[in-house]
Amino acid sequence: MSLLNILRYPDPRLHKVAKPVTVFDDRLKKLAADMAETMYAAPGVGLAATQVDVHEQLIVIDVSDTHDQLTVFINPEIVWASDEKQVYEEGCLSVPGIYDGVERPKQVRVRALDVEGKPFELDCDGLLAVCIQHEMDHLRGKVFVEYLSPLKRNRIKTKLLKEERENSRDKKKAAAVR
């Protein structure tokens, strides 16, 4: 297994819409395993393939404290969502250090395939419901900051671009010293 590079907002590749998975092979299993390793190392509770520049409908999630309840969702779809909403403070591995409240359905039922291509349904609430909806947004090319006001979104974009420039400058300085 290997760690994958996580795209950072506002990278335009985060806005690509993922295609359904049609082939269930060793490549797909390796991708899911690499995504899980990347998610745990980040550390995070969910990761969509879009975030690692693979534009296929694949998500890995583990909201457990013990990191031993990994679920892989392939071609996920929400087949039911509660009318009751909740606001949850969300963060994202593609938008490091930024957290804000997003309103979503409190409960959802998701239908998906596992890495073998077997279908399953799962009723989700709490953090799991938030996470599945957040990651499915990635598959549609949407990042959670797009739920925020244009002013907040622009401030976040400016902050992350500034951090990226500073990190790049620091790396160049370090390379020049060698």
Task: Tell me how far apart the alpha carbons of residues 123 and 93 are, in angstroms, rounded to a whole number.
Answer: 24
Q: Confirm or deny that 124 is annotated as ligand binding.
A: no
Task: Tell me how far apart the alpha carbons of residues 3 and 91 are, in angstroms, rounded to a whole number.
Answer: 20
Q: Which residues are catalytic?
A: 135
Structure tokens at 50: 């879009």
Strand pairing report for 107-113 and 119-125: antiparallel
Q: Confirm or deny that 92 is annotated as ligand binding.
A: yes
CA of residue 67 relative to chain centroid, distance? 16
Q: Confirm or deny that 15 is annotated as ligand binding.
A: no
Task: Tell me how far apart the alpha carbons of residues 73 and 62 are, in angstroms, rounded to a whole number.
Answer: 11
Strand pairing report for 58-61 and 46-48: antiparallel
* Residues annotated in a binding site for Fe cation: 92, 134, 138
